[in-house]
Each structure stands twice: as structure tokens, then as C-alpha cells.
């Protein structure tokens, strides 16, 4: 892969909306991605391997629990800072951002929000440093967009719970130390349980042959009569709203992350268009290529504004789940469109690992599907504006 020459586009001078602290956090993450992620990521993606050596650095830039209070080992940052960190990590690779999102919003968040003090003290500091890596088990083979239909269940055996079932498509599963697993009790109510690697009957087979998110490890979670201590049930929230609350936080981070991937594709295509000569002039001097670049920077700028505003609303405690859905859906589709156009602008070179674009494009095919598909988020917006749920 070529040297990382990334220069972030800021067409509407949105840096003016950021505090000095925001810029410092963003620039630290940006420099780390340039130094640690860009030189190795293509190789790890080609080999379909998660680069575990990035874990301590991810912790240092605030990639694990940026908004979790410092008393639990988190960075205690606001939502804009969290978003900026996700943007920079995904500028490097969506798979690395996935690990960061899962750890922060799908593992640390539920333990912080729905756990008791003992659980917080036991797990959060180790998750914040990356000593523990976590995963989040919601999706099942027969229940993806409709997780409320899940079959994974647990029974109260007096001194422990007995957990049975299977989860599929779980990021970080193959090497996670703990899993936050969503399962139904005997009354059919959904609860979160912390399952630890090493518990008898708990296995995590890896999912192979992905063309997307190749630098992220994906797997199954299989529970065959797993005895889970009663102390591992998250006591403070139950029902489908509990996992959905985690997804709000993760989807918000994805909305920012997708901008990072889009910025990288745009920046690469812009530079290439100035250097690549065909018919005795740079391809960037042709109207057709300028149309692509002009539309890219317009869409990136719109997404930056949408997402910054969403961050302000989240910091004020006013953002709705439907607003988060809109931003996730818009930004990931925007990034995917830009990746496809940017790929074409590089001609044959666009399909090689010399440039990051094809890897972003393939990664985004997962990002547009996980954490609520593109269509499901549209249905959420539709329901929000009409009042009619059209899911069934």
C-alpha cells in the first residue's frame, strides 16, 4: 500500500464548530491511524486477520469507552469527541472501528448503564485498557432484523442460570474474553448476561470467507447448557429496549465513522485525479471526473453537518433513536456511493490493494447491513414521521 497522504476535507470550515479539546482528540487519533493502521491494514485485510497489536493503541487514543466516566477507566469525553474518534479510526478501516464500537457501545455501555457497581468495577477498567475484549450477541441465525423473536434462552436453576442457544455474525467473537449476550428468561423477557470465555459449553467458532470487514474477526456464539453465575445478569434494564439502547450509541458512532471512510476515498480520488494524465491532461481537468468529485464533497459536507448536529443533540440528551437512524442510514449510503465512484476514478488501479478505496467499499457493504440495515432504518424514519410501523 502507498504512503498515507490523507488530508481531511473541511469544505465548510466545520473545525470552527469544534473546541480545542475536540481538535486535539481528533488529531491524536488521526496521527495514530496514519502511523499504526495505514502501514499494516492492507496486509491484515488481505490475510483476513484482525491486527491484535493495535489494541493498546486503540485504548490510548480513547477508542475503548470514550464517554465512559473516568472512575471506570473510560475517557470521560463528550459525544462529539466520541464521534471524531470513530471517524478517524474508520478513515483507517471499518473493521478496526467495528472492534472499537463493539467494545465501547455494545459491551462497556450496557455494563455501565444496565449493570451494578460490582459488575462495573469488575469489567469496565479492563475493557477500557483492552486487557479484556468484549463482543455483543444479539443476532441469531433466524432473527436478524427482528431480534425480538430470538430463541436463545436461560432458565433459573436456583444457584445459577442455564443458557442455551446460538448467536451469529458476532464481531470480535473468535477472541473475545467476554460476551454480553441477550437471551429470554422463562417468561420470555429479554435480559443481558455476561458470559465469560472458558465457561463450560460456550464456544465461538470463526466465520470464514468474508469479502467484507476482513480485518475484523466475526464468529458465532454457541451456548450448550452454559452455567452462568447469577451475578452475571445485568440487573438494571430488561426488554428489547435494553439492546436497542446500546445500538443507538453504536449507530451514532457509525454515522461518524462512515464519514471517515468517505473522506479517505474522496481524498484519494482527488489526489489521483490531479496526477493521472490521459489524453495529455489530468483526468481531474475533465468535466465528468469533476462532477464526481464535486458531488462527493457536497455529500461529505452535508453528512458532516448532520452528524455534528446529532452530536450536539446527544450531548444535550435530546437526540432520538429515529434521528440516529437517519444519520446512520444517510452516511453509510453516502460513503458507499463515494467509494464506488472513487473506485472508478482510479480505473484499474482502483481494484488493487495499492489504494484503500476497494477495501473501504467492501467494508461498507457490511456497515450498510449491520446495526440495522439500510431498509430497516428507512422504516424507522417512516414510522417516526407517520406513526405507522410498517415492519410487519
Ligand X SMILES: Cc1cc2nc3c(=O)[nH]c(=O)nc-3n(C[C@H](O)[C@H](O)[C@H](O)COP(=O)(O)OP(=O)(O)OC[C@H]3O[C@@H](n4cnc5c(N)ncnc54)[C@H](O)[C@@H]3O)c2cc1C
> Which spans of this chain sit near ligand X (rule: CB under 6 A)?
102, 135-139, 144-145, 169-171, 213, 218, 366, 369-371, 373, 375-376, 391
Of 216 and 273, the one with the shorter C-beta distance to ligand X is: 216
Work out how close the CB of 171 gets to ligand X at its nearest, in angstroms, rounded to a whole number: 4
Q: Identify the bridge partners of residue 161 per DSSP, sorted by sequence position.
A: 156, 228
Distances in Å between the alpha carbon of 381 and those of 260, 314, 353, 376? 24, 18, 37, 9
Q: Distance between CA atoms of 69 and 197, rounded to whole angstroms?
A: 26
Of 170 and 283, the one with the shorter C-beta distance to ligand X is: 170
CB 37 within 8 A of CB 54: yes
DSSP string for residues in 179-212: EEEEEE-TTS-EEEEEEETT-TTEE-PBPP--SS
Of 56 and 149, the one with the shorter C-beta distance to ligand X is: 149
Work out how close the CB of 213 gets to ligand X at its nearest, in angstroms, rounded to a whole number: 5
Of 238 and 369, the one with the shorter C-beta distance to ligand X is: 369
Of 135 and 338, the one with the shorter C-beta distance to ligand X is: 135
CB-nearest residue to ligand X: 144
Work out how close the CB of 201 gets to ligand X at its nearest, in angstroms, rounded to a whole number: 20
Q: What is the CA radius of gyration of the chain?
A: 21
Q: Are strands 134-137 and 178-184 parallel, antiparallel or unpaired?
A: parallel
Work out how close the CB of 274 gets to ligand X at its nearest, in angstroms, rounded to a whole number: 35
DSSP string for residues in 304-360: HHHHHHHHHHHHTT---HHHHHHHHHHHHHHHHHHHHHHHHHTGGGGGSTTSSHHHH
Work out how close the CB of 318 gets to ligand X at its nearest, in angstroms, rounded to a whole number: 26
Of 104 and 218, the one with the shorter C-beta distance to ligand X is: 218
Work out how close the CB of 305 gets to ligand X at its nearest, in angstroms, rounded to a whole number: 27
Can you say whether the dihedral through the CA atoms of 250, 256, 258, 264 is positive or negative?
Answer: negative
Place of cell 428507512: 378
Please, what's the largest Cα pairwise distance for the chain? Answer: 79
Work out how close the CB of 340 gets to ligand X at its nearest, in angstroms, rounded to a whole number: 18
Instruction: Give catalytic status of residue 371 as yes or no.
Output: yes
Work out how close the CB of 90 gets to ligand X at its nearest, in angstroms, rounded to a whole number: 14
One of 36, 42, 140, 371 is an active-site residue; which one?
371
Q: Which residues contact 325 (CB under 8 A, 6 or more apart)?
A: 251, 372, 377, 380, 381, 384
CB 209 within 8 A of CB 249: no
Q: Distance between CA atoms of 93 and 104, rounded to whole angstroms?
A: 17
CB 264 within 8 A of CB 308: no
Question: What is the per-residue burial (b if ≥16 Cβ within 10 Å, else e) of 9-25?
Answer: beeeeeeeebeeebeeb
Of 129 and 369, the one with the shorter C-beta distance to ligand X is: 369
Can you say whether the dihedral through the CA atoms of 178, 184, 185, 191 is positive or negative?
Answer: positive
272, three cell numbers: 489521483
Which residues are identified as catalytic?
371
Amino acid at each position: 500500500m502507498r504512503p498515507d497522504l490523507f488530508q481531511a476535507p473541511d469544505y465548510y470550515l466545520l473545525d470552527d464548530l469544534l473546541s480545542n479539546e475536540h481538535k486535539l482528540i481528533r488529531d491524536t487519533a488521526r496521527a495514530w491511524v496514519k502511523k499504526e493502521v495505514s502501514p499494516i491494514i492492507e496486509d491484515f485485510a488481505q490475510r483476513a486477520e484482525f491486527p491484535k497489536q493495535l489494541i493498546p493503541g486503540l485504548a490510548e487514543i480513547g477508542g475503548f469507552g470514550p464517554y465512559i466516566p473516568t472512575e471506570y477507566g473510560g475517557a470521560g469525553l463528550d459525544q462529539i469527541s466520541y464521534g471524531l474518534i470513530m471517524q478517524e479510526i474508520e478513515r483507517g478501516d471499518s473493521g478496526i472501528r467495528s472492534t472499537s464500537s463493539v467494545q465501547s457501545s455494545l459491551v462497556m455501555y450496557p455494563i455501565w448503564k444496565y449493570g451494578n457497581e460490582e459488575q462495573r468495577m469488575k469489567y469496565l477498567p479492563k475493557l477500557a485498557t483492552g486487557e479484556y475484549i468484549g463482543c455483543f450477541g444479539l443476532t441469531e441465525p433466524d432473527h436478524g432484523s427482528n431480534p425480538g423473536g430470538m430463541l436463545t434462552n436461560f432458565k433459573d436453576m436456583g444457584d445459577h442460570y442455564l443458557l442455551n442457544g446460538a448467536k451469529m455474525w458476532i464481531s470480535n467473537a473468535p477472541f473475545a474474553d467476554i460476551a454480553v449476550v441477550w437471551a429470554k428468561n422463562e417468561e420470555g423477557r429479554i435480559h443481558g448476561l455476561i458470559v465469560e470465555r472458558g465457561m463450560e459449553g460456550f464456544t465461538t467458532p470463526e466465520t470464514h470467507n468474508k469479502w467484507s470487514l476482513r480485518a475484523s474477526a466475526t464468529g458465532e456464539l454457541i451456548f450448550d447448557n452454559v452455567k452462568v453465575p447469577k451475578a452475571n445478569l445485568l440487573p438494571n434494564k430488561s426488554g428489547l429496549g435494553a439492546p436497542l439502547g446500546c445500538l443507538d450509541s453504536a449507530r451514532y458512532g457509525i454515522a461518524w465513522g462512515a464519514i471517515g471512510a468517505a473522506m479517505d476515498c474522496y481524498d484519494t480520488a482527488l489526489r489521483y485525479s490531479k496526477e493521472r494524465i490521459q489524453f495529455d491532461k489530468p483526468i481531474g481537468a475533465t468535466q465528468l471526473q469533476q462532477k464526481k468529485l464535486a458531488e462527493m464533497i457536497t455529500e461529505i459536507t452535508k453528512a458532516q453537518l448532520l452528524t455534528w448536529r446529532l452530536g450536539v443533540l446527544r450531548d444535550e440528551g435530546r437526540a432520538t433513536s429515529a434521528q440516529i437512524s437517519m444519520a446512520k442510514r444517510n452516511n453509510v449510503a453516502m460513503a458507499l456511493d463515494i467509494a464506488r465512484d472513487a473506485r472508478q476514478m482510479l480505473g484499474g488501479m482502483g481494484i488493487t490493494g495499492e489504494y484503500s478505496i476497494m477495501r473501504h467499499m467492501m467494508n461498507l457493504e457490511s456497515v450498510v447491513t449491520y446495526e440495522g440495515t439500510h431498509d430497516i432504518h428507512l422504516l424507522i424514519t417512516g414510522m417516526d414521521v407517520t406513526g405507522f410501523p410498517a415492519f410487519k
